Amino acid sequence: MMRPLQRLLILLGLLALPLALNKQPWSGLAQAHTESKSTLARIIAQGLIKHNAESRIQNIHLGGRLNASAQVAPGMVGWLIHGTKLQQQQESSINITNIRLDYDGIQMSFHKEWFLANISFELDLELRLPFDNNIIKAYAHVSIVVEFWLEKDEFGRRDLMIGKCHAEPSSVHMTILTEAIPPKMKHFLHNFIENLEKVLPHLVESQVCPLIREILEQLDVKLLKSLMDECLVHPVRTP
């Protein structure tokens, strides 16, 4: 792992990422360049396509029965929403009807031999409400952030180190697209959305992070170093 002092120096040495990354935990890291058209970003995009990342996410089982008052522990992965005790024991269901991975918008931030990748997902959802079987359409956005770096051993050889990969909480937001919501369901829907915002990022993370790790581990260290040098030679100009 990266030495604590080395990581601290890197983090302190970077003071402001561009606006596009200002929702990330490393936002404001100043000397980092940001690139969305780099070779490395394309490699990650192609790997996610090859591994059918979108299909994997779309096939996530969100649970046939939803508990509007469920409490989800932070970091809990694969949580299934179990039977709600609504007054009439009726059920709700939710499905992911479409997902879009912004392949062209994968953001690569780098400083020396440290990288941060930001990958955005947009999801279309359909929620079937209890009581009257109304279908509510919703939109969700989640960003996955992963850090990795090259670290020298005692012999001067570089190894690829992969750090934290997670769904960035501040990137998660949901929008209800259906305007006509039955008044009696508004409170239920509010609680439901709150729970889904807790659960969905971890479910996406559980599908995407192993794929990203596999893609990165297949990269040759010399290739990665050359891609890094390419970014430094042709830095991105940010406004």
Each residue's pLDDT tens digit, 93-118: 788 889 888 887 888 887 778 888 99
Does 3 map to a domain?
Answer: no
- Distance, CA of 13 to CA of 114 (rounded, Å): 12
Consecutive H or E run containing 67: none
Q: What is the CATH number of the domain that holds 210?
A: 3.15.10.10
In which domain, by residue range, is 129 found? 33-233
Does 93 map to a domain?
Answer: yes
- Distance, CA of 181 to CA of 46 (rounded, Å): 40
- Distance, CA of 27 to CA of 4 (rounded, Å): 19
Does 224 map to a domain?
Answer: yes
Considering its fold, how many domains does the chain have in total?
1
Does 27 map to a domain?
Answer: no
Rounded to two decimals, the pTM is 0.69
Instruction: Give pLDDT, residue 185.
Output: 76
Identify whether the C-beta of residue 146 lies closer than 8 Å to the C-beta of residue 117: yes
Does 8 map to a domain?
Answer: no
Tens digit of each residue's pLDDT (9 = 90 or more) over 69-100: 344 433 333 333 333 344 434 556 788 889 88
Does 25 map to a domain?
Answer: no
Identify whether the C-beta of residue 211 lies closer than 8 Å to the C-beta of residue 154: no
- Distance, CA of 41 to CA of 20 (rounded, Å): 15
Instruction: Give pLDDT, residue 223.
Output: 82
Instruction: Give pLDDT, residue 147.
Output: 92
Instruction: Give pLDDT, residue 233.
Output: 57
Does 180 map to a domain?
Answer: yes
Low-confidence ranges of the chain (pLDDT < 50): 1, 5-33, 64-89, 236-239
Does 23 map to a domain?
Answer: no
Phi, psi torsion values for 136, nearest 5 degrees: -105, 130
